[in-house]
Amino acid sequence: MTVPQIVIKRRLVILLLFSLIISFVLLGRVFWIQFVRGEELKNRALNQWTSDVPIEPKRGTIYDRNNNPLAISATVDTVVASPPDIKDVDKTAALLSTALDMDRKELEKTLKEAKDKKKGAIYIKRKITDEESEAVRHLNLSGIYFTKENKRFYPERNLSSHVLGFTGIDSQGLDGVELIYEKYLKGTPGRIVSETDALSRKLPFGVDKYVPPEDGLDLVLTIDKIIQHIAERELERALVEHKAKKGTVIVMDPKSGEILALTNKPDYDPNNYSNFQQQLWRNAAVSDVYEPGSTFKIVTASAALEEGVARPEDQFYDPGYAMVSGVRIGCWYHGGHGSQTFIQIVENSCNPGFVDLAIKLGKDRFIKYIKGFGFGETTGIDLPGEARGILEPSKVGPVELATISFGQGISVTPVQLMSSLATIANDGKLVQPHVAKAIIDKDGKTIHEFSPGSLRQVISHETAQEMKKILESVVTNGTGGRGKIEGYKVAGKTGTAEKYVPGKYVVSYMGFAPADDPKLAILVIIDEPSGGLIYGGTIAGPVFQKVMEDSLNYLGIEPKIASTEENDNNIKVPDLRNLYIEDAKKILLQNGLSVRVEGEGYVVTEQVPLPGAEVRRNSTVILKVSDSRTNKDPVTIPNLKGRTVKESTDIINAIGLNIEIIGSGYATKQNPPPEVEVGLGTAVRVEFSQKP
């Protein structure tokens, strides 16, 4: 049967229409894909057929001020596993765990999980040592590969760890200058973009795009690694010697605010910081606050001089205490210092004298100077976690004002205290302490220099000069004697603050040298030393003296004072420990030394300075006595004349003799007579009568 032409034509028209509609729909779809969703789909496709691998930049080196590296980055191996390529997981895990010192079961579990989940690649151990890398290479395991990563090395180990800080596993700064100067040190990552097939394999003739990484810039610190080492060595020695809990030393150039050394002990090794307790990461020098004690008196004295409420030659009287709003505030020296000049108040570190000054200054003026010296606000040092200290003027009443005058009832950070001392050394100008000196590029060209300069004039040039002289006399004639350095003029101040836990102290010593042209200012703080005599001068003073002397020698600062005369006048301190106190006193007076006795009892248990130390004629030796017994044999019979029965019994027992008492009251006669030498356990017959 033939189909009529008209039917064929109609079918053709329908087909045409149908084709047209299909074409329009397809065109519409193409339009939709190309123009409406084009950008999005293009990106999705790009992600699918390219692999974008970031390239880690090399982190900048950190140098000390003399370009000695303190933190360096170097390329090391990281072990990566490709789970689909591992044939025998158990065997691989067993061999790898031995070579990389890892837990075998855990590694086995990780590998199996990754294999089950069909993961492309997983890290086994990142940034391994050369020995580990060699061991893994020897195993020649299938599915185990190496990639290169940058690892941070701190060649000086613990040295300056609280300034440097440390970096995390992805080379990001986590503490110290590593954190503060992260933006300069880290650099810009590069990338490799390459085309891949459906199984993420790189196409052999695919187009690669390579954007090179930009390495980080280098950082030069103000730290001098030799001075830093001296400070750490001496602080560590003092902590061991005095069985102290912790300590801090800061060395600063008072004119520029550059920190030459900053250390807290105990500390940690940033190479493996995770092996140390977190509290050891804490930079106590900037983050911890403490009651400064007498070292704070430099602020009170400066304010008093600047405001004219006292002149150096003004006379004061210390009865041993001061009464403020009905509260009795005692002097550290029992019985008081009596009549003394302003200079002697500072030399003797006399508390009632400073209370007097604070009262004369008044709250507002005193607070103005406390704030002026930078207390109650951060110094702006370029280290993380700086504390502001505790100073609340609204809560300062007359008693608080009085206690603040000698450094109790106010909390400061060591770096704030250092900054206030530097202000005096720097002719009254407050400088900002800082640890970064410059940012340099790989060719050593300076990109940026840090020199914050002075912030404000706190006290006048004249007052600062006056204070320098007074602090120098604290070292020459006062409590700061242990800071003396032969040939140099040293200015200093001691500090001893009792903590809220009775019997626990924080001792400090701070000073600068040469006093007339200060090159270095040093603060030493020792927390909770144990043992006999706990004074800033006796415990922190020797640390200050040694650090200052060694640093001045290292810097080539020539001694200016001729020391021959001093040498002739020097006397070696004899060993007085375990002696009856009266015998010890006699020996000291014969040697041309004066004596100060502390404690109750008749036997010397501690002495400062220690035996063998060289001191100048007429220096004071502090003897701490207790009621223990001596074991000296033979015993020299003491003179008991005028002593009570109890005193005589205690003395005779303390030196290992027996007493035979006749009568009561005061001793009048004794047998054997004084100065006779007898054996231990000899009986001494003492006659007493009511009238001496």
Partner 1 sequence: MVVAERDLQRRTFYREQHEVLRHDTKKQQGKSRPNHKARYIARLVCIALLTFLPLYRFSVITESQYRLDTIQSEIKNVDSQNERLEVEIANLKAVARIEDIAKNKLNMKEPENQQIIYFNVN
Catalytic positions are 294
Amino acid at 353: G
> Is 427 or 550 the residue whose CB approaches partner 1 more closely?
550
Bridge partners (DSSP) of residue 448 are: 439
3-state secondary structure of 22: helix
Q: Are 317 and 373 in contact (CB under 8 A)?
A: no
> Is 452 or 559 the residue whose CB approaches partner 1 more closely?
559
3-state secondary structure of 12: helix
Residues 486-525, one symbol each (x = binds partner 1 by CB under 8 A, - = not), give xx--------------------------------------
What residues from 102 to 131 belong to the interface with partner 1 (CB under 8 A)?
Answer: 130
- Reference 332, options 105, 594, 537; nearest CA is 537
Which residue carries 């009251």 as its tokens?
665
Distance CA(505)–CA(509), nearest Å, equals 13
Shortest distance (Å) from residue 450 CB to partner 1 = 24
Distance CA(403)–CA(370), nearest Å, equals 13
> Is 223 or 640 the residue whose CB approaches partner 1 more closely?
223
Shortest distance (Å) from residue 144 CB to partner 1 = 20
Amino acid at 77: D
Kindly determine how many residues on this chain lie close enough to bind partner 1 according to the rule CB under 8 A.
Answer: 25
Bridge partners (DSSP) of residue 161 are: none
Q: Are 330 and 321 in contact (CB under 8 A)?
A: yes
What residues from 138 to 167 belong to the interface with partner 1 (CB under 8 A)?
Answer: 148, 153, 155-157, 159
Q: Are 511 and 480 in contact (CB under 8 A)?
A: yes
Q: Determine the distance from the C-alpha atom of residue 215 to the mean position of all C-alpha atoms in its chain, rounded to a whole number.
A: 31
Distance CA(44)–CA(681), nearest Å, equals 100
Query: Which residue from 204, 308, 556, 612 is in contact with partner 1, where contact means CB under 8 A?
Result: 556
- Specify the DSSP element, H or E, that contains 512: strand 505-513
3-state secondary structure of 482: helix
- Reference 294, options 375, 240, 348, 251; nearest CA is 348
Residues 305-324, one symbol each (x = binds partner 1 by CB under 8 A, - = not), give --------------------
Rule CB under 8 A: is residue 359 a binding residue for partner 1?
Answer: no
Helices (H), 124-242: 130-139, 161-164, 176-180, 182-185, 225-241
> Is 69 or 320 the residue whose CB approaches partner 1 more closely?
69
Distances (CA, A) of 266 to 64, 174, 230, 430, 603: 22, 20, 15, 30, 35
Distance CA(337)–CA(322), nearest Å, equals 12
Amino acid at 474: V
> Is 18 or 554 the residue whose CB approaches partner 1 more closely?
554
Bridge partners (DSSP) of residue 249 are: 263, 524
Bridge partners (DSSP) of residue 620 are: 594
Shortest distance (Å) from residue 178 CB to partner 1 = 16
- From 80-88, 373-381, 385-393, 556-564, span contacting partner 1 (CB under 8 A): 556-564
Query: Which residue from 127, 162, 186, 225 is in contact with partner 1, where contact means CB under 8 A?
Result: 225
The two three-digit tokens of residue 18, written as one number: 């149908």
The two three-digit tokens of residue 615, written as one number: 């001191």
Distance CA(659)–CA(637), nearest Å, equals 11
Rule CB under 8 A: is residue 594 a binding residue for partner 1?
Answer: no
Rule CB under 8 A: is residue 553 a binding residue for partner 1?
Answer: yes
What residues from 29 to 88 belong to the interface with partner 1 (CB under 8 A)?
Answer: 68-69, 72-75
- Reference 153, options 135, 134, 178; nearest CA is 178
Rule CB under 8 A: is residue 220 a binding residue for partner 1?
Answer: no
Distance CA(676)–CA(684), nearest Å, equals 11
Rule CB under 8 A: is residue 206 a binding residue for partner 1?
Answer: no
Q: Are 548 and 480 in contact (CB under 8 A)?
A: no
Rule CB under 8 A: is residue 559 a binding residue for partner 1?
Answer: yes
Distance CA(510)–CA(545), nearest Å, equals 10
Shortest distance (Å) from residue 269 CB to partner 1 = 12
Backbone dihedral angles phi then psi of residue 369, each to the nearest 5 degrees? -75, -35
The DSSP secondary-structure symbol of 501 reads: S
What residues from 600 to 639 belong to the interface with partner 1 (CB under 8 A)?
Answer: none
> Is 126 or 157 the residue whose CB approaches partner 1 more closely?
157
Q: Are 231 and 223 in contact (CB under 8 A)?
A: no
Shortest distance (Å) from residue 72 CB to partner 1 = 5
Shortest distance (Å) from residue 190 CB to partner 1 = 14
Q: Cβ neighbours of residue 293 under 8 Å, at least 6 residues apart?
A: 406, 407, 408, 495, 496, 497, 506, 507, 508, 536
- Angle, CA 622 vertex, CA 620 and CA 628 arms, to 5°: 150
> Is 231 or 418 the residue whose CB approaches partner 1 more closely?
231
Axis crossing angle, helix 363-372 with helix 297-307, rounded to the nearest 10: 120
Shortest distance (Å) from residue 69 CB to partner 1 = 5
Query: Which residue from 19, 43, 98, 563 is in contact with partner 1, where contact means CB under 8 A?
Result: 563
Shortest distance (Å) from residue 552 CB to partner 1 = 11
> Is 34 or 75 the residue whose CB approaches partner 1 more closely?
75
Give the end-to-end CA distance of the chain in Å, rounded to a whole number. Answer: 164
3-state secondary structure of 258: strand
Helices (H), 254-412: 284-287, 297-307, 342-348, 351-361, 363-372, 398-405
Q: Which residues contact partner 1 (rule: CB under 8 A)? A: 68-69, 72-75, 130, 148, 153, 155-157, 159, 225-226, 229, 233, 486-487, 550, 553, 556, 558-559, 563
